[in-house]
Amino acid sequence: MKKALSFLFCMLMIVMTAMPAFADEAKVINEVRLSITEPVVGEAPDKNIVPAEPDKYTAQYGYWLKRLYSNDPVEVFEAGYEYALVFYLYPKEGYKFAATEKDKNGTAFSTTVVYMNDQPTEYCIYESETKLGRAYVVALADEEEKPVSFFQRFINSIRDFFKKIADFFKGLFGIK
């Protein structure tokens, strides 16, 4: 009887010590979707990153830079630059990011895919199952040409006509 009770007690201890290991198994996050207000020329950067699944992970604003890997902080967006939003992700309790792997250069990266405003982000900073550092890169084109009035187009065409005549005579007489 003592052997049976001892055996049952041992089995109970083994089961009880194994239970926390199963209870601590975190769910893997393979994809993260975030959103932020897109940059607009002449406006200050938005700092409010909104996670699609806030119960699984949080997003921490880092900073906006003029060009990725630069040290130029952004106060107001300007046309003609490529901007990078650097941010960090942290899983909530009971979750972890997908396994970390190494690329051909030996740099560690997580296989969790991260989207900002439905665009894939670049991995660039710190990667693990408990913290991801990412960059969202946005290019702002040069300002578009302003519409030209009929009168201005007429003046421009006359100027172009006389420039072509002047270029013709310069070429004819060998003037540079």
The alpha carbon of residue 50 and the mean position of all alpha carbons in its chain are separated, in whole angstroms, by: 13
Residue 85's closest CA among 124, 51, 112, 118? 124
- How would residue 22 be classed by pLDDT, with cut points 50, 70 and 90? very low
pTM for the model stands at 0.62
Residue 120 buriedness (CB in 10 A; 0-12 / 13-18 / 19+): exposed
User: Which pair of tokens denotes residue 31?
Assistant: 């994809």
- Highest mean pLDDT: which range of 11-20, 100-109, 113-122: 113-122
Alpha helix ranges (H) inside the chain:
2-23, 150-173
Whether the pLDDT of residue 66 is over 70: the answer is yes
Pick from 46-50, 93-97, 148-152: least confident: 148-152
**Residue 151 pLDDT:** 62
**Residue 44 pLDDT:** 92
**Structural contact between residues 89 and 31, judged by C-beta atoms closer than 8 angstroms:** no
Query: What are the tens digits of pLDDT across the range 140-153?
Result: 766 544 455 666 66
**Residue 99 pLDDT:** 72
